[in-house]
A = this chain, B = another copy of it.
Amino acid sequence: MRVTIREVASTAGVHYGTVSRALNPDTAHLVAKKTRERVQKVADELGYTPNTIARGLKKNRTQTVGVVVPDIASPVIGHLVRGVEDRLSPHGYIALVANTDDDREREQTQIRALMGRSVDGLIVASAHLSGPTLEELAEHRIPVVHANRHGHGESIASVTSDDAPGVYSVVDHLVRLGHRRIAYLGGPLDTSTGQTRSQAFRFAMAEKNLAVDEKLVVHAKTFRTKEGEQLAAALLAAGEEFTAIVAGNDMLAIGCLDTLRTHHIACPDDISVVGFNDMPFVDKLSPPLTSVKVPHYDIGTEAAALMLQLMHAEASSPRTVLLPVALVVRESTGAAQVP
């Protein structure tokens, strides 16, 4: 059996209420220094650890935040979760992670499971969030922070990468290299990143006074390399000429590289390829992939920081954080092929 506050009290010769106060930083000033020290010592000797469950029941706070992600096995998500953890744990909070596979039903189930465990807050990095679930969350008045995705309007706090300038810098980079006919292989339009980047691409092209050939714009249904391969092949088969592909993320870009290789098309000599996210090891690909560095770890820490603010109900603070990204030029982009 685990040692309780009463045992500490009896061996220290004080009432258990006093022990509670002595051990709690907020109330420690209410107990005399002498007894506080004695209690502290006895608690250490007995190896007392407060029962978080009992405390949670009483205070209605569990020092736990739920983290809802599409897939913890994905490298970018892993870094995000790591950031959350690192920022949260010094404050005594711990993360409860749940995978959804971007599946609406599973999302709902997982969020319910988290709510049932009385998490103090919810960081949501999963793509969708169905209506009923959102309502439930509102009912429980539980703080919610969106990470790596935009919220519904501005009502929900969110922290994301500032993708638009990133996409612009990609297009700018390609244009400077002489590219004019640029294909776009984007991610799912029902995800926040898929949509944002797609719009940003059109905007950037307009900015450069370049026409967007609709035949050169395709969108994947998932962010998987396999689909990148297929869509890249489809772009090639369409017969429209182009000298560069901007991909919605690195996975899709890797698919492109594979397809180019199987078609014996040289990259970057014939066609340049750009990814997004700058995942680990894309610098080791052949050719090393030009990409846009997205600070997923920092997204995690910022989301956690925002969550801490919300939970402690500090004065209203900036609710929407945009983190800067940076183009990383490598060898998958080069001068446009002369026609």
Cα A136 to Cα B56 in complex, Å, equals 23
Question: Contacting A85 at CB < 8 Å: which of B54, B64, B99?
Answer: B99
**Residue contact B85 to A74, C-beta cutoff 8 Å:** no
Residue among B78, B254, B285 making CB contact with A73, cutoff 8 Å: B78
Q: Kindly state the separation between the CA atoms of A136 and B297 in the bound complex, as whole angstroms.
A: 33
If A73-B81, A75-B75, A78-B78 touch, does A116 touch B286 (CB 8 Å cutoff)? no
Of residues 68 to 108 in A, which have CB atoms within 8 Å of B's CB atoms? 71-75, 77-79, 81-82, 85-86, 89, 92, 94-99
User: Taking A78-B78, A81-B73, A281-B254 as contacts, is the C-beta distance between A53 and B57 under 8 angstroms?
Assistant: yes
Count this chain's copies in the assembly.
2
A188 contacts B by Cβ under 8 Å = no
Contacts of A86 in B (CB 8 A): 99
Interface size range of chain A in the complex: 35 or more
Q: Decide yes or no: A53 and B118 within 8 Å by CB, A73-B75, A75-B78 being known contacts.
A: yes
B73 touches A99 (CB 8 A): no
For A254, list chain B residues within 8 Å (CB): 281, 284
7 extra A-B contacts, CB within 8 A, seeds A52-B118, A72-B72: A52-B117, A72-B78, A72-B82, A86-B99, A94-B96, A281-B285, A285-B286
Chain A interface (Cβ within 8 Å of chain B)?
2, 47, 49-54, 56-57, 62, 64, 71-75, 77-79, 81-82, 85-86, 89, 92, 94-99, 110, 112-118, 136, 140, 254, 257-258, 280-281, 284-286, 297
The 9 residue pairs across chains A and B that have the minimum distance between CB atoms: A286-B286, A73-B78, A73-B82, A78-B78, A53-B56, A73-B79, A52-B117, A53-B57, A49-B116
* A-B contacts, 9 listed (Cβ < 8 Å): A51-B118, A52-B116, A52-B118, A72-B78, A72-B82, A73-B297, A75-B78, A94-B96, A258-B284
